[in-house]
């Protein structure tokens, strides 16, 4: 998925340190929201799906911080599918302030069985929905 799915994010005082600068870990929270809303846009309300016996958990994250966001900034958090496997999805994510890239990362999310917490295949409906989004984008 080359086209990025994005959501608006406003920086609140709770997101900042004493100097009014966004605390580094909060960028990961913004990325989590973008991934969650991307899945929601595909019809999946929650990233944890105990009714289907699976959970989606962060396997790894690599983040580069380019600029600081500050109190009351209007940001945009994006998520795009970088790679889709049977048991994991890698998302390419960015945080923008207008046209300025302030943070980017690659987050791998793994599917695990709810009872054992061991890796398992993504449920077919989710896998198919993600695969369809990638194929749709490739046709453009």
Phi, psi dihedrals of residue 83, rounded to the nearest 5°: -155, 140
Angle made by CA atoms 99, 101, 104, in degrees to the nearest 5: 145
> What is the rounded CA–CA span in Å between residue 38 and residue 48?
14
Q: Which of 15, 17, 45, 99 is catalytic?
A: 17
In the residue annotation, 72 being an active-site residue is answered as no
Q: Is 2 exposed, middle or buried (0-12, 13-18, 19+ CB in 10 A)?
A: exposed
Which residues does the annotation mark as catalytic?
17
């Amino acid at each position: 998925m080359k086209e990025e799915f994005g959501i608006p994010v406003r920086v609140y005082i709770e997101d900042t340190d004493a100097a009014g600068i966004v605390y580094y870990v909060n960028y990961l929270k913004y990325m989590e929201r973008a991934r969650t809303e991307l899945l929601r846009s595909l019809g999946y309300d929650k990233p944890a799906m105990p009714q289907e016996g699976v959970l989606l958990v962060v396997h790894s994250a690599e983040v580069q911080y380019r600029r600081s966001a500050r109190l009351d900034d209007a940001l945009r958090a994006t998520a795009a599918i970088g790679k889709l496997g049977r048991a994991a999805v890698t998302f390419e994510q960015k945080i923008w302030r207008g046209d300025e890239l302030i943070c980017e990362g690659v987050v791998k999310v793994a599917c695990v069985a709810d009872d054992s917490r061991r890796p398992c295949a993504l449920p077919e409906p989710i896998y198919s929905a993600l695969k369809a989004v990638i194929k749709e984008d490739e046709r453009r």
